[in-house]
Structure 1
Amino acid sequence: MGSSEERVVAVIMVGGPTKGTRFRPLSLNIPKPLFPLAGQPMVHHPISACKKIPNLAQIYLVGFYEEREFALYVSSISNELKVPVRYLREDKPHGSAGGLYNFRDLIMEDSPSHIFLLNCDVCCSFPLPEMLEAHRTYGGMGTILVIKVSAESASQFGELVADPDTNELLHYTEKPETFVSDRINCGVYVFTPEIFTAIQDVSSQRKDRANLRRISSFEALQSATRSLPTDFVRLDQDILSPLAGKKQLYTYETMDFWEQIKTPGMSLKCSGLYLAQFRFTSPHLLAGGDGSKTATIVDDVYIHPSAKVHPTAKIGPNVSISANARIGPGARLICCIILDDVEIMENAVVIHSIVGWKSSIGRWSRVQASFLLYFSWHDTSVICYFPNALFFNQYPDNVTKAGIIFCNICNTIIISVTCLTLC
């Protein structure tokens, strides 16, 4: 164990509005890190995990969003966890490592012995105390959380090779064209402050190369020789790859769940993973009910205290219901996220869908997604919005707006998740 006087800080990269376009339309109303998964903002899950780190002094959120967009949440979570949380806004892109280096003076204010670096759009159990303990045992500059995946999917991530006995990182390559390993980078790290020296070295080398190129103006114009800005440093290509095999970096493998949250469909899956985790970490957040005085609850379900759910409704598994939602009699909800101020009327069915803020699902409506789903209409309809719709039609009725995306040849939906929002 480390000394009780040692201090640790955590940095969570939250991105910005120019990033995460695959998460639309859900990120059009609020910043992606504040989108609720299992009833809590996405960024809340890594923040809560950081709270378990021994001797945690500070949590920093680094991103491109306007400070006002995070002000209320940062204040609220700081009071809730009794740990200072601070949002730091980047003035321009610096890269995953450059962004850390840009705020090095603030990060080092508490003279931390270790610095955690996490990506907000990662869903996992975040075994941070275990990582820290392993990192101290290894004695290197950094430790990377890794997981084993299928050989087919590995190329979508950073693949790595580690020594099976010492766990030293021997080789790292980002999204290789050919198979390297079925172990991938999870986007969760712990470093000593030496990481800042490593980042500075990259910037200095890049500056030296840029000065040499000025000798030939023709060479400087060639795309093959153009360099990145000296203060733009990528953690994967510029730090992990060069330091692999130099007894500086090590790995810690998790056997638990891990996913990236890049699309609306993945947010639905990750919400379910966090709900399942609540059984062990936060059982008080899970709803219960047997259908007598309260709704029938199946497996893992979160219901906000302000939501109103009729006793004859049946909810679950994998359902998250947000603030001020109203679930009518006989409604059936399976594998879905219901956002703030949504109304689901009597006997409506919602399956594998995300129902957006202030939307309304009419009586006897059915909202469901599958690869080939036939949609039967009743006296009401719903609105389904997708950025690249094949076909969009509107139906005047008692729902706020109505429409469904079809293939206009076979009248089928050919998507894997339904997002319901107000256009």
Structure 2
Amino acid sequence: MGSSEERVVAVIMVGGPTKGTRFRPLSLNIPKPLFPLAGQPMVHHPISACKRIPNLAQIYLVGFYEEREFALYVSSISNELRVPVRYLKEDKPHGSAGGLYNFRDLIMEDNPSHIFLLNCDVCCSFPLPEMLEAHRRYGGMGTILVIKVSAESANQFGELVADPDTNELLHYTEKPETFVSDRINCGVYIFTPDIFTAIQAVSSQRKDRANLRRVSSFEALQSATRSLPTDFVRLDQDILSPLAGKKQLFTYETMDFWEQIKTPGMSLKCSALYLAQFRFTSPHLLAHGDGTKSTAITGDVYVHPSAKVHPSAKIGPNVSISANARIGAGVRLISCIILDDVEIKADGDYNAKLGVTILGEAVTVEDEVVVTNSIVLPNKTLNVSVQEEIIL
């Protein structure tokens, strides 16, 4: 493990049922962080990336979901990775930095020298060991993962300017109205424990301002609508923006893929990105077959060991098939996410075909049905072809 000074902990923000509403209807039946991408729960990808961090002591998942919704997954992933994973439920919204501060005593139990902070709804290669190495070289309080995007899309994210030689963060602004930079914040950070002092300072400033306002009842009335709770601290506006240019924050740029998983459509794209990454990180998870004695597999495909796929089916590219699914003879699947207990039948003269589609748990697709660009929620039976529909 190394000395206690070298220990690292990771905190993954998983949100809650009242957040991430743009991911509906996929999050109506399953918590968004547990929705499968490339056959693994969304949160599994950042967790498995954390496993590569040297001297990792603990992983914390922080969110608003009930603990019972994560209990089974947390137990299984802890055993699988042999790293302690713990779910921490927030009692109320504290903001992205306030949520971290709220659990500071637990996070600091292992006396970590560094704390990774990741957002669950980020899809990327998570170059965490490389970030840690760069962060130690910089010698600052924090390092932010950044990526270059098109100038047209940059204003959807936090834009930043960094020194081209030292990589110091010079300027940061969240979703600006006018163009600032084509470098954006990826939602992946590493901090020293000094981050807690910085968050505490924001809370203290708020308390001081609140006390000053009480001197004037008129001022209090004016500011009541726009003042934030003293323990609600946002990482972007309250920490990154004020500390930019003060030699405390630095950037690490990734040249690899990066996406935000906000909508159902993005889940298909990100599943494909993770499947492609498996070629390098987990090739044993990818299915193989040439169509002679086994199913014909094209491109990157994940098939759960308990799923049954007929040898005459044609699967791929970019398909993930979850537990206990049954895929019948001659079925064709392209760019699909198939959840647990789905059955796609093949009894007729024409084979079922599905493309760019997500099938929820225990969905049944009858023979000769064609489904394209659609989302089908759990426990539905499709006996007619559908295109560009959401079947609730």
**TM (normalized to structure 2)?**
0.95
Match of 2:381 in 1: 400
Match of 1:157 in 2: 157
User: Is residue 338 from structure 1 mapped to residue 338 from structure 2 by the alignment?
Assistant: yes
In structure 2, the CA distance between the partners of 1:5 and 1:108, relative to structure 1 (3 Å rule), is closer
Match of 2:65 in 1: 65
User: Is residue 177 from structure 1 mapped to residue 182 from structure 2 by the alignment?
Assistant: no
Query: C-alpha distance in 2, partners of 1:404/1:292?
Result: 29
What is the DSSP-based 3-state SS (H/G/I as helix, E as strand, rest coil) of the residue aligned with 1:293?
coil
- Spell out, residue by residue over 1:137-184, the C-alpha distance to the aligned partner (whole angstroms, 9 max, x if none): 000000000000000000000000000000000000000000000000
Match of 1:21 in 2: 21
Match of 1:360 in 2: 364
User: Is residue 278 from structure 1 mapped to residue 259 from structure 2 by the alignment?
Assistant: no
Match of 1:300 in 2: 300
Match of 1:138 in 2: 138
- Answer yes or no: is the 8 Å Cα contact 1:7–1:110 preserved in 2: yes
The CA RMSD measured in Å over matched residues stands at 1.8
Match of 2:244 in 1: 244
For 1:243, the aligned partner's letter is L
For 1:359, the aligned partner's letter is V
Match of 2:310 in 1: 310
- Answer yes or no: is the 8 Å Cα contact 2:359–2:376 preserved in 1: no
In structure 2, the CA distance between the partners of 1:100 and 1:234, relative to structure 1 (3 Å rule), is same
What is the DSSP-based 3-state SS (H/G/I as helix, E as strand, rest coil) of the residue aligned with 1:222?
helix
Match of 1:6 in 2: 6
> How far has the Cα of 1:259 moved from its partner?
0.2
User: Is residue 328 from structure 1 mapped to residue 363 from structure 2 by the alignment?
Assistant: no
> How far has the Cα of 1:3 moved from its partner?
6.7
For 2:300, the aligned partner's letter is D
> How far has the Cα of 1:226 moved from its partner?
2.9
Match of 1:97 in 2: 97
Q: Which has the larger displacement, 279-288 or 358-367? A: 358-367
> How far has the Cα of 1:222 moved from its partner?
2.2
Structure 1: 5+ residue stretches without partners? 371-382, 386-398, 406-412
> How far has the Cα of 1:221 moved from its partner?
2.2
> How far has the Cα of 1:224 moved from its partner?
7.8
What is the DSSP-based 3-state SS (H/G/I as helix, E as strand, rest coil) of the residue aligned with 2:190?
strand
Match of 1:37 in 2: 37
- Answer yes or no: is the 8 Å Cα contact 2:39–2:320 preserved in 1: yes
Match of 1:124 in 2: 124
Query: C-alpha distance in 1, partners of 2:154/2:88?
Result: 32
Query: C-alpha distance in 1, partners of 2:306/2:94?
Result: 41
**TM (normalized to structure 1)?**
0.88
What is the DSSP-based 3-state SS (H/G/I as helix, E as strand, rest coil) of the residue aligned with 2:136?
helix
> How far has the Cα of 1:217 moved from its partner?
2.0
> How far has the Cα of 1:314 moved from its partner?
0.2
For 1:274, the aligned partner's letter is Y
- Spell out, residue by residue over 1:357-389, the C-alpha distance to the aligned partner (whole angstroms, 9 max, x if none): 11111111111129xxxxxxxxxxxx857xxxx
- Spell out, residue by residue over 1:186-210, the C-alpha distance to the aligned partner (whole angstroms, 9 max, x if none): 0000000000000000000011011
- Answer yes or no: is the 8 Å Cα contact 1:353–1:419 preserved in 2: no
Query: C-alpha distance in 1, partners of 2:226/2:218?
Result: 11
1:40-59 equivalence runs, <5 A: 40-59=40-59
For 1:350, the aligned partner's letter is L
- Answer yes or no: is the 8 Å Cα contact 1:288–1:297 preserved in 2: yes
For 2:165, the aligned partner's letter is D
Q: Which has the larger displacement, 22-31 or 240-249? A: 22-31
What is the DSSP-based 3-state SS (H/G/I as helix, E as strand, rest coil) of the residue aligned with 1:317?
coil
- Answer yes or no: is the 8 Å Cα contact 1:12–1:60 preserved in 2: yes
What is the DSSP-based 3-state SS (H/G/I as helix, E as strand, rest coil) of the residue aligned with 1:135?
helix
Identity %: 85
Query: C-alpha distance in 2, partners of 1:30/1:81?
Result: 23
Query: C-alpha distance in 1, partners of 2:148/2:187?
Result: 14
- Answer yes or no: is the 8 Å Cα contact 2:366–2:382 preserved in 1: no
In structure 2, the CA distance between the partners of 1:215 and 1:162, relative to structure 1 (3 Å rule), is same
For 2:27, the aligned partner's letter is S
Match of 1:351 in 2: 355
Q: Which has the larger displacement, 355-364 or 116-125? A: 355-364
For 1:400, the aligned partner's letter is T
> How far has the Cα of 1:356 moved from its partner?
1.0
Aligned residues: 386
- Spell out, residue by residue over 1:203-252, the C-alpha distance to the aligned partner (whole angstroms, 9 max, x if none): 00011011111122222222586310000000000000000000000000
- Answer yes or no: is the 8 Å Cα contact 1:125–1:256 preserved in 2: yes
> How far has the Cα of 1:4 moved from its partner?
8.1
For 1:98, the aligned partner's letter is G
Query: C-alpha distance in 2, partners of 1:401/1:331?
Result: 15
In structure 2, the CA distance between the partners of 1:403 and 1:222, relative to structure 1 (3 Å rule), is farther
Query: C-alpha distance in 2, partners of 1:238/1:274?
Result: 33
Match of 1:377 in 2: none
- Answer yes or no: is the 8 Å Cα contact 1:38–1:271 preserved in 2: yes
Q: Which has the larger displacement, 132-141 or 290-299? A: 290-299
What is the DSSP-based 3-state SS (H/G/I as helix, E as strand, rest coil) of the residue aligned with 1:12?
strand
Structure 2: 5+ residue stretches without partners? none
Query: C-alpha distance in 1, partners of 2:359/2:382?
Result: 13
